[in-house]
Structure 1
């Protein structure tokens, strides 16, 4: 099997010229996204360059304390991103969202590292940090969808909610239809991805490993582990986030204490 082939920075630069296509489409259709796309691309380049240099340092140092601090930073940034994209107040949502991500992530990373993969040492940065990054990264969109749908339901079906409260229903019972719908919509994309993996899509992790020279069956095993872990983490994090959000942001009388930020 052929080993991984390096890509020169010159060819990377030439390939980046393909970005002219989305900029041209933006101009033709007047999408007003040029600035946002440019900022996103620049951030992507700078952040990936930084993380590449940082990971080389982290892998060599291989410190459990530094690994832990990096994961805490990822959870903090991920939680802030979820809340910002959901257009909800950070002050009231940060703890529920961060708790959901932490409780969903930590047991799975420990299980994958200590029982399934068993690197040496078990806290090896080469495995722990990429695993945590993949799990967190794939949980962001699901949590955003869940929160947006939950509070959209409160906004659009407010009379239904208050009618249930007026009839004596507890806030927990009155919000069950909203929570159910939010969870169904949050889980739909990952389930569709799982159902079509191998037939319609070849996931990025598996493709990257194969391009890197790894045996396809080994790459498939890792991909199965990751997809399963992503789905499990998403269900845990969304469930905990929604439940803690409701507990913290609905009064005993049933009043909703948080709204979308305009």
Structure 2
């Protein structure tokens, strides 16, 4: 016990793996496959988190603007690469550029507003705040863009004839594709909305739980959690909106004709 915090040693962490073994035994008993994948995921997660913990421990002890900026940039690159990796061969070059712009601009703006205006962080590069908060906002935005783009790409392929009919009747590209963009935007926001609806009653979010376990006053932890969830909503909404509105325009040429070569 240290300062009210129960510190978990590696033996206790090892005991937590017993729960995984129970699940593996249940999978064997019910002849469910993917047992190796389950075990590999647990081991890989453990190794990754240990490495991240070692890196963050050093970074927190040696704060610098360039190192914090570098980590933030790497997080952005990884997020964009993950999004693009989900759509191999299905996104045109123009749409891939939109993903880079929307993800980078949307999340950078949201992170800057949250840290500098809401939190009032000083110095601005304090890694103990920048890295975890940026990770939450960028991670959720990555998921939102992926869901929104999937709905847009699939919708363009499935509704190509309806969009062409609307264009043939004189509708502007924006109007012809508006229902599809609206539906994709709703699909991308739904997980975030559902998460907020269940917060506090169905479950306690990880950030709030971690602060409470660390001895922070519950009301202080709640204040941070509310602000974080609102920041996530802003980041997801902004990035997805930019990705969908700008991305939808890439399906039309300069003369407002549908580009069949970009529908995949």
TM-score (norm 2): 0.88
Unaligned 5+ segments in structure 1 are none
Asked whether 1:220 is paired with 2:222, we answer yes
Q: For residues 129-186 of structure 1, what are the alpha-carbon distances to aligned partners after superposition, in whole Å with 9 as ceiling and x for unaligned?
A: 1110011112222211111111121222222122112223233222111100001111
Pairing of 1:50-199 with structure 2 (within 5 A): 50-86=51-87, 89=90, 92=93, 93-199=95-201
Q: Are 1:18 and 2:19 counterparts?
A: yes
Q: Is residue 63 of structure 2 the alignment partner of residue 43 of structure 1? A: no
Q: How many residues align?
A: 260
Worse-superposed segment, 187-196 or 247-256: 247-256
Range with greater deviation from structure 2 (115-124 or 19-28): 19-28
Tell me, yes or no, if the aligned pair for 2:251 and 2:262 is still in contact at 8 Å. yes
Q: Which runs of 5+ in 2 are unaligned?
A: none
Superposed CA RMSD in Å reads 2.3
Matched residue, 1:34: 35
Between 24-33 and 229-238, report the one with greater CA deviation. 24-33
Q: Distance in 2 between matches of 1:83 and 1:47?
A: 22
**Which deviates further from its counterpart, 245-254 or 135-144?**
245-254
C-alpha contact 1:84 1:90 (8 A) present in aligned 2: no
- Scaled by the length of structure 1, the TM-score of the pair is 0.89
Relative to structure 1, the CA distance from residue 38 to residue 118 in structure 2 (aligned partners, 3 Å threshold; closer, same or farther) is: same
How has the CA–CA distance of structure 1 residues 77 and 35 changed in structure 2, closer, same or farther, with 3 Å as cutoff?
A: farther
CA distance in structure 2 between the aligned counterparts of 1:38 and 1:250, rounded to whole angstroms:
46
Instruction: Choose which of 215, 239, 243 in structure 1 pairs with 2:241.
Output: 239
1:88-117 per-position Cα deviation (integer Å, ceiling 9, x unaligned): 546734432222222222223222222332
